[in-house]
Amino acid sequence: MSRSTPSGPSQRMLRVGEQVRHALSETLQRGEIIDPVIENTVVSVSEVRMSPDLKIATAFVSPLGVGEAGAVVEALNKHAKFIRGRVSGALRQMKYMPEFRFRLDTSFDNFARINELLKSPEVARDLGPDDRDNNDKDEE
């Protein structure tokens, strides 16, 4: 039996997480959730991480075009049992239907912050060629 190691999730956890992500994305696209916060929002599911026993699915979502993303995540968590029931049809092969937990995906924000830092003049100066070291080597 495949087990999770300290270095990361097992192959099975990754495969099931991807299947759950696809099923969850399709369910959210159909607009079956009746909630004013979710109905008018496009929600991108970037990743689903499964627990080692495959009973908990943590979905990382990015609400697009919304000022208050936390309200969308809160609404998704409120409707988690309904979503679980809707997704179950697409995941019939699973022994247990996972419990859904929704978290805000901040990876895009982190990427933008790192990109901004790399473009700053201080970092660009440090990453550029150092003329003083090259000149010293030429003189020797």
Question: Each residue of 5-37: pLDDT tens digit?
Answer: 567 888 888 999 999 999 999 988 888 888 888
H or E stretch at 110: helix 107-118
pLDDT band at 88 (very low <50, low <70, confident <90, very high): confident
Task: Say how far residue 97 (Cα) sits from the centre of its chain.
Answer: 20
Q: Two tokens at 111?
A: 């990427």
Which SS3 state, helix, strand or coil, does residue 56 take?
A: strand
Average pLDDT of span 97-103: 93
The answer for residues whose C-beta is within 8 angstroms of residue 117's C-beta and 6 or more apart is: 123
Domains of the chain: 11-105 (3.30.300.20)
Q: Is the pTM of this model over 0.85?
A: no
